Amino acid sequence: MIPLIDGDVLIYEVGFGVMTGWEGDDPPPFDMAREMLENKISNICALAGGTKPPIIYITGKGNFREKIATLKPYKGNRSQPKPFHYHNLRAYMVGVMGAILVDGMEADDALAMYQTETLSILEGNPLYSGPREMTIICSRDKDLKQVPGWHYTWECGKQPSWGPSFVDGYGEIYLDDKRKLKGYGDKFFLAQCLMGDATDNIGGIPGMKDVGAFKILSDTLTYPDGLKAVLEAYKGFYGDDGEKNLLENGRLLWMLREPDKMWEIDV
């Protein structure tokens, strides 16, 4: 099993984590951040069932989503400060750990494409001529749970661990004890299309919350049925612009499975 690790999440988690509780006048030394990073990656690989060295991806320059977004600027509401060792951690992960910088998209897309290709290979893709082991996506980013294959989310703060779990088929959605929508697979992706994603400044249908999205999709059993229900909801709110707006939001939320192959509405 090859762990595919979301390096973007770790940079912030480790960067801010090493600063927590530090009482010195100067920032904590980088050796502390390096040790925490190495320990976290080792623990993630062990808990995810990794049997091979991990492949780590970090987002580089540019993002195709910025050109797609017309309703709202993509990630235009972000003002999160960077931890002190942000650039040092990126440089260490690339220079020492062999992390791969991804330009033009996000690290999430690279994880999704690698895992999608792996599943295709293991299912007997006749175009592939070399070996490839099963992969497992390791991240705390909920968006990646739409991608088929193995997944592991490590515990952090109030966010519990999840997996290793295998995502396949249409997937599932449910409401937790706080009435927040959770899930995985295509069904979860369609729920995101309804609600949008405030973290990335993606609007969805204004006023659509977790419970409303759950009611629309909970009884759907297939992706075509779910997509039809989401499209009807968009047209009900946006009228003639419903399909256009759904296509934009869906493409912003969709993790790429193949290079330059965007999500399409196919009903």
pLDDT of residue 145: 96
pLDDT of residue 120: 77
Q: Does residue 82 carry a pLDDT above 80?
A: yes
What dihedral do alpha carbons 136, 39, 91, 12 form, nearest 10°?
Answer: 80
> Domains of the chain: which residue ranges?
1-168, 170-267
pLDDT of residue 85: 94
**Is the four-CA dihedral 205, 209, 215, 218 of positive or negative sign?**
positive
Of the pLDDT bands very low, low, confident and very high (cuts 50, 70, 90), residue 243 is very high
pLDDT of residue 266: 87
Tell me the average pLDDT across 148-161: 92
Tell me the average pLDDT across 243-253: 97
Q: Does residue 132 carry a pLDDT above 70?
A: no
pLDDT of residue 155: 92
Q: Does residue 151 carry a pLDDT above 90?
A: yes
Tell me the average pLDDT across 210-221: 97
pLDDT of residue 136: 96
Class of domain 1-168: alpha beta
**Between residues 183 and 131, which one has the greater pLDDT?**
183
What dihedral do alpha carbons 18, 22, 26, 30 form, nearest 10°?
Answer: -20
Q: Does residue 77 carry a pLDDT above 80?
A: no
pLDDT of residue 70: 94
Please report, rounded to a whole number, the percentage of residues in the chain having pLDDT higher than 70. 95
pLDDT of residue 90: 96
Q: Provide the mean pLDDT of the chain.
A: 92
Residue owning tokens 């995502």: 167
pLDDT of residue 130: 57
Tell me the average pLDDT across 20-33: 86
pLDDT of residue 126: 55
Class of domain 170-267: mainly alpha
| Helices within the chain (DSSP H only) | 7-17, 30-47, 65-68, 86-95, 107-122, 185-195, 210-217, 223-238, 242-253
pLDDT of residue 133: 81
Token output for 88: 């040092």
**Between residues 229 and 81, which one has the greater pLDDT?**
229
Please compute, for residue 88, the number of CA atoms within 13 A of its CA located in the half-sphere on the CB side.
17
Tell me the average pLDDT across 33-51: 96
Tell me the average pLDDT across 195-222: 95
Q: Does residue 131 carry a pLDDT above 60?
A: no
Alpha carbon distance 93, 86 (integer Å): 11
Q: Does residue 128 carry a pLDDT above 90?
A: no
pLDDT of residue 124: 62
